[in-house]
Amino acid sequence: MPVNFLTSVFFEGPQVIPYWEQIKEYGPTVIPIGVSLAALKYYFRGSTNTWERDMHGKVFIVTGGTSGLGQQIIYELGTRGAQLILLTRRTNDAWLAEYIEDMRDRCNNPLIFAEECDLASLYSVRKFATSWLDNTPPRRLDGVICCAAECIPRGKPRQITTDGVERQIGVNYLGHYQLLTLIAPSLRVQPPDRDVRVVIATCSSQNLGDVDEQDLLWDKKRYPSTQPWKVYGTSKLLLGLFAREFQSQLMTYERKDLTPCNVRVNLVNPGLLRSPSMRRTLSMGTVWGLILYLLMYPIWWLCLKSLNQGAQSFYFALFAPMLMKIDGGVSIQECKINTKVRKEYSDEELCKRVFEQTEKLIKELETRSAIERKKNTTKEEQEKEGKKKRDLAVKPTTTDELQSKLDVLRSSIGKELPLFPDESALKASGVTKSNVKKRGGSKKA
C-alpha cells in the first residue's frame, strides 16, 4: 500500500526504495533530461481552446474532411451534433461510404453526408454550388470550413488540375475561391441572428510565397521542383488576400432587412502537425524518405502537434463569441488573434486587384474548359443523344427534338409531309381518311 511504503521510507530512510543505488547514480542526469523533454512537449503542444458553443443542428460545409486535420474537426463537430456536408472528389466510392458510416457511428450522429465537389475542377465546384443554391427557401448554412490543401513533395514534376492550372495553386486557392464566391448568396441570406463563420486554413509557409500580379497562377514561371514550398506558400498567401477582400465585400453588402453583416471570414494557422501532408512532405513522397521519417518519429512526436492539438485554433475560430464583434479577415494562431502578419494583408488595393484578376482568370479558364469538354464529347454520347431525339416514344422537350421526330416520321411514311397535312397532302402520300377510319375501326373492333 502507498501509505505503508511512505511510512517505511519516512522511518527507515530512502534505502528501502527499490533500485535506490541506481537512482542515486543516474538520477542527477536522467531527471533533468526527462523534465526538459516534458517541458518541450508541453511547449510544442500549443494553446488549448477554452470556449464552448452549442453546435447542435448547425450546418457546415467542410473541404478536406476525410483525412488529417479536417477529419479531426469533423469528429469534434459531429460529436457536438452539427450537420456536416463533406465535399469530396467523388461520391461513388466504397471507401467513402464506409468512412461516412464509421464517422456516424463514432459521433453517434446520422447527419454527416458527402457531396461531390472536386476542388481541382472549376466545373465540378460550379455544379455543386448550383445545386446548393437551387433551393427554396435557402438552405441553412452556419459556416464553411476550408481544410483541403494539395502539397507536392520535393523533387516531383509539375502537376496540373483539370483546368490546366498548377495543382497547388488550383486546389488551395482557385478551388476555394470558386466555392466561396459562388455560395456567397447563401451566406448573405442567412437570418441576422445567426452567426455565420468561414474558417480558412493557412500555413506558415505563406511567408515563403510571393505575389506576382503578372503571373498570378504560376503559369509563366518555371516550376521549382526542388523548392515546391514556394508555390504552396504562394497559394496560401493568395488565399489570405482573398479572405481579406471577400470579408470586405461581405461587410459592404446591404441586406434587405438593413441589419449588419453576420458573416465572418477568418484565417487559421494550426501550426506544424503530424498530419498526412506533413508526412508526405518530410518523406518527399519516397519509400526511403518514409523509412527515415519513421526512424525519426520520436523527434516528430516531440516537436510536432497532434491533430487534436492543431485543431484547437479552429475550435477557437468557430466557438469564440468575440470574433463576431470585430470585422473579420483576421489571422488566428494559438487560439488568439495574430497581429504579426504579412504586409500584403494590409494593402487593400492589392487585395482588390488580386480578387478581380482571379475572377477574370477563372472566367477564361471555365470558358476554355467548356470548349474542351464540348470537343471531348464521346461518340457514344452523341449516338445516345441522337437515338433519344429519333425515338418517337419519348416526349420531345425542345423544338430540335420535335423537328427530329417529325423527320423520322416523314421518312417512315416515305414522302414529305407538312406539320399539319390537309387531305390533298394525305392523298399524295397514299394515306386517306377512309384508311384512317378503317384503321380506327379495326382497333375498336
Instruction: With both helix axes pointing from N to C terminus, report the angle between 68-79 and 312-319 in degrees, rounded to the nearest 10.
Output: 50
399 or 57, higher pLDDT: 57
* Predicted local distance difference test score (pLDDT) of residue 444: 44
**Strand 83-88 relative to strand 336-338: parallel, antiparallel, unpaired?**
unpaired
Q: Is 256 a catalytic residue?
A: no
Active-site residue, from 58, 220, 230, 236: 236
Give 128-163 as a DSSP string. HHHHHHS-SSPPP--EEEE-----PPTTPPP-B-TT
Domain residue ranges of the chain, discontinuous segments joined by +: 2-44, 59-270+305-367, 382-444
Q: If DSSP codes are grouped into helix, strand and coil, which group holds residue 422?
A: coil
Q: Are 156 and 149 in contact (CB under 8 A)?
A: no
d(CA 290, CA 105): 32
Angstrom CA distances, 236 to 65, 156, 360, stand at 18, 20, 20
Report, as an integer, the average pLDDT of 109-132: 94
Partners of residue 112 on adjacent β-strands: 84
* Predicted local distance difference test score (pLDDT) of residue 101: 94
* Predicted local distance difference test score (pLDDT) of residue 416: 56
* Predicted local distance difference test score (pLDDT) of residue 442: 46
* Predicted local distance difference test score (pLDDT) of residue 246: 94
Partners of residue 87 on adjacent β-strands: 63, 115
Buried b (16+ CB within 10 A) or exposed e, 333-362: bebebeeebeebbeeeebbebbbeebeebb
Q: What stretches of 246-354 adopt beta strand conformation (E)?
A: 263-269, 331-333, 336-338
Residue 138 sits at φ, ψ, to 5 deg, of: -60, 145
The set of cell numbers assigned to 82 is 452539427
d(CA 131, CA 183): 10
81 or 440, higher pLDDT: 81
Q: Are 232 and 168 in contact (CB under 8 A)?
A: yes
Q: If DSSP codes are grouped into helix, strand and coil, which group holds residue 352?
A: helix
What percent of the chain lies above the pLDDT cut of 70? Answer: 90
Single out the residue of 185, 91, 83, 88 nearest to residue 132, CA to CA: 185
* Least confident span in 154-158, 171-175, 308-312, 395-399: 395-399
117 or 401, higher pLDDT: 117
Report, as an integer, the average pLDDT of 259-281: 89
- Per-residue model confidence as pLDDT tens digits over 166-222: 999 999 999 999 999 999 999 999 999 999 999 999 988 888 888 988 889 988 888
Report, as an integer, the average pLDDT of 12-19: 76
d(CA 119, CA 87): 9
Q: If DSSP codes are grouped into helix, strand and coil, which group holds residue 196?
A: strand
- Per-residue model confidence as pLDDT tens digits over 129-175: 999 998 878 899 999 999 998 888 888 889 999 999 999 999 999 99
* Predicted local distance difference test score (pLDDT) of residue 17: 78
Report, as an integer, the average pLDDT of 56-80: 93
d(CA 221, CA 302): 38
What fold is seen in the domain 59-270+305-367? Rossmann fold (3.40.50)
Q: How confident is the model at residue 384 (pLDDT cuts 50, 70, 90)?
A: confident
d(CA 74, CA 81): 11
Residue 31 has pLDDT above 70, yes or no: yes
d(CA 314, CA 201): 8
Peptide bond before residue 276 is cis, with ω within 30 degrees of 0: no
* Predicted local distance difference test score (pLDDT) of residue 445: 42
Predicted TM-score (pTM) of the model is 0.79
